């Protein structure tokens, strides 16, 4: 096989593996680069293939961010933690801001539901219990304003 045929075969293998991953769920560009690099593909070839997938609208950080926000909100995760996880996945801050702003999530209601699921319907009677519940919600990614609204 010639070098050109080797390159085409590698790109085809990268594309197939990327499409298999995208068939399961949306991925961020950087996330796919990392996963594909583990299979010993050349990084520059990975980026060429992924750029093609972006051009074909098969790979989108915007769709990944929107899907992540919706999925994590349904599981009771707050916007602070969602933002951190998206940043770690390599999504730009402007895309994250847009995804969070466009989501229909009522963060106070989500925080309240997460509190009730974890601790039951009864409200805390004393400060140590309230503080424990607030720390739980903070770890889940809710900010101070959302916590105040839940406990008011």
Element (H, E) at 105: none
pLDDT score for 1: 59
**Does 7 have pLDDT greater than 90?**
no
Query: For residue 67, what are its two tokens?
Result: 């899907």
Residue 50 contacts by C-beta under 8 Å, 6 or more apart in sequence? 18, 29, 32, 33, 36, 59
Domains of the chain: 3-59 (1.10.10), 62-102 (1.10.10), 107-151 (1.10.10.10)
pLDDT score for 49: 96
Q: What is the mean pLDDT of residues 59-88?
A: 97
**Does 79 have pLDDT greater than 80?**
yes
Q: What is the mean pLDDT of residues 90-97?
A: 96
Q: With contact defined as beta carbons under 8 Å apart, do 114 and 151 qualify?
A: no
- Closest of 60, 40, 39 to residue 51, by C-alpha: 60
Q: With contact defined as beta carbons under 8 Å apart, do 41 and 18 qualify?
A: no
Q: What is the mean pLDDT of residues 4-18?
A: 91
Computed over every residue of the chain, the mean pLDDT equals 94
Q: With contact defined as beta carbons under 8 Å apart, do 57 and 27 qualify?
A: no
Q: What is the mean pLDDT of residues 52-60?
A: 96
pLDDT score for 5: 87
Q: What does the pLDDT look like over 97-151, one tens digit per residue? A: 999 999 999 999 999 999 999 999 999 999 999 999 999 999 999 999 999 999 9
Query: For residue 47, what are its two tokens?
Result: 């980026």
Q: What does the pLDDT look like over 64-77, one tens digit per residue? A: 999 999 999 999 99
- Closest of 109, 111, 104 to residue 140, by C-alpha: 111
* Strands of 10-77, DSSP E: none
């Amino acid at each position: 096989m010639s070098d050109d045929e080797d390159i085409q075969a590698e790109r085809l293998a990268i594309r197939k593996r990327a499409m298999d991953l995208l068939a399961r769920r949306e991925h961020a560009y950087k996330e796919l680069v990392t996963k594909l690099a583990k299979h010993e593909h050349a990084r520059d070839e990975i980026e060429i293939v992924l750029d093609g997938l972006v051009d074909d609208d098969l790979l989108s950080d915007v769709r990944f961010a929107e899907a992540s926000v919706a999925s994590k909100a349904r599981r009771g995760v707050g916007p602070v933690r969602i933002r951190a996880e998206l940043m770690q996945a390599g999504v730009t801050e402007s895309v994250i801001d847009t995804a969070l702003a466009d989501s229909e999530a009522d963060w106070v209601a989500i925080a309240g539901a997460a509190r009730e699921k974890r601790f039951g319907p009864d409200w805390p009677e004393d400060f140590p219990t309230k503080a424990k519940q607030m720390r739980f919600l903070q770890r889940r990614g809710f900010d101070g304003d959302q916590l105040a609204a839940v406990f008011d």
